[in-house]
Amino acid sequence: MRIFPVPSQCWAFLQQLRFLQLTLYILFFLFAFPFLGQEWVFKLFSCIFLLNALLVTLSASGRIVRLKGLFWLVFAASVIFTALYLLPLFPAERSLFLKLAITSEILLLLLCLTAILVFIFESREVTVDTIFAAVVAYLIIAVTFAQAYKILIYFSPNSFNLTADLAPSGFDMVHGDMIYYSFIVITTVGIGDIVPLTPAARMLTAIEGIVGQFFVAVLVAWLVGRFISQSGHKAPPPE
């Protein structure tokens, strides 16, 4: 009689928790953001989030094996640009590295999001892993739009009615406002304390709202329908 599970069973169990732990990490990161303090601490948590999302994505989707090098290349670029941004350089140079770091992060998030959606649609059955993969995809969409808003602010500082310092030394503090704003938009809560002021900001906000509603109305409904159908097929025949 075996008291402890064999390694293969442990690994199979851990695989069922990969998207769950990523979901919990994202929620913890969002909760802890106001208390992180120094900028390098925030950047460290951001890099861990990107690495976590990358590893989970690579472990879930078999179709991206050939593109694995591209995923790691984009991740390495985001880490390098972030490290250069944190160095005590001239403001113009820091602004350039900040822009490149955000762009690399957006590209990596989009790659992970695409691979996760492929994993969801190719899953033969709806499991806990599949459900939390959908949750992670939803959260990544919001984070990606938050990064897109930061890029928009970089080129047009008056895109939103923000009071935060937009200089390179304090620009990353805008991230908290944009994360908050992005989740308010994607969930259609619409508190109204942050308002898009330019046409580009308004259109990007509208697109996020549409994507968020489409995600819930189509993907979540599709998963629920599959789960109900799957449960019906597994139900024992009546006696």
From the list 61, 114, 53, the residue with the least C-alpha distance to 78 is: 53
> What pLDDT is recorded for position 168?
45
Which stretch of 100-104, 121-125, 132-136 has the lowest confidence by average pLDDT? 121-125
List, in order, residues 6 or more apart from 24 with CB less than 8 Å away. Answer: none
Cα-Cα end-to-end distance for the chain: 35
Residue 77 pLDDT more than 70? yes
Residue 69 and residue 81: Cα distance in Å, rounded?
A: 18
DSSP string, 202-224: HHHHHHHHHHHHHIIIIIIHHHH
> What pLDDT is recorded for position 76?
95
Residue 103 confidence class, pLDDT cut points 50, 70, 90: very high
Residue 79 confidence class, pLDDT cut points 50, 70, 90: very high
Residue 6 pLDDT more than 90? no
Of how many residues is the chain composed? 239
List, in order, residues 6 or more apart from 129 with CB less than 8 Å away. Answer: 15, 16, 17, 18, 19, 20, 60
> What pLDDT is recorded for position 173?
62
Query: DSSP 3-state assignment of 27?
Result: helix
Average pLDDT of the residues in 18-41: 83
pTM of the model: 0.84
> What pLDDT is recorded for position 81?
93
> What pLDDT is recorded for position 128?
80
Residue 12 confidence class, pLDDT cut points 50, 70, 90: low
- Looking at the chain, the whole-number percentage of residues with pLDDT higher than 90 is 33
- The two tokens of residue 105 are 């992060």
List, in order, residues 6 or more apart from 149 with CB less than 8 Å away. Answer: 159, 160, 178, 181, 182, 201, 204
Query: DSSP 3-state assignment of 136?
Result: helix
From the list 51, 52, 32, the residue with the least C-alpha distance to 42 is: 32
> What pLDDT is recorded for position 123?
79
Condensed to tens digits (0 to 9), the pLDDT of residues 133-192 reads 888 999 999 999 999 998 898 888 888 887 655 544 454 567 788 888 999 999 888 787
> What pLDDT is recorded for position 11?
46
Average pLDDT of the residues in 32-45: 77
Residue 17 or residue 84, greater confidence: 84
The letter for the amino acid at 216 is V
Show the beta-strand stretches assigned E in the chain.
none
Residue 80 and residue 78: Cα distance in Å, rounded?
A: 6
